[in-house]
Amino acid sequence: MRTKYGPKTRKELSNDAINTLFKNGYFHEWRAAYEIAREINKNIPKYWGQVKPEAVRFIILRNKLPVTKRTNEQRLQWRADEGLRERPSQT
């Protein structure tokens, strides 16, 4: 648990990083898990455990990002869902 003055946890940092990547349009093209993990790890200190490509799927599911998944050459790849890129406002 994070205190008022302590650093964010690794989970919070990875959630922030993947949401930032999604907002900046990183998922407009197909991205492999190792590419996404490499971008997330740029925000996590080197002396902490780094995010592995196997964990990317769980980070995406945890944040409920509207992405499409495909298997290409035995690797999972993700891209922003064309129909859900812009979330309609619920009025």
For the domain that residue 55 is a member of, what is the CATH number?
1.10.10.10
Flag whether 89 is in a domain.
Answer: no
User: Which residues make Cβ contacts (< 8 Å) with residue 6, sequence separation at least 6?
Assistant: none
Query: In this predicted model, what pLDDT tens digit does every residue of 3-46 receive, in sequence order?
Result: 677 788 889 999 999 999 999 999 999 899 999 999 999 989 88
User: Can you give the residue range of the structural domain that contains 34?
Assistant: 10-81
Give the separation between CA 52 and CA 73, rounded to whole angstroms.
19
Total domain count, the chain: 1
Q: What 3-state DSSP class applies to 68?
A: strand
For residue range 51-87, what is the model confidence (pLDDT) as tens digits? Answer: 999 999 999 999 998 888 888 776 778 888 865 545 4
Which are the contacts of 16, defined by CB distance < 8 A and separation ≥ 6? 8, 43
Residue 91 lies in a domain: no
Q: Is residue 74 part of a domain?
A: yes
Cite the beta strand spans of 2-84 per DSSP E: 31-32, 67-72, 75-80
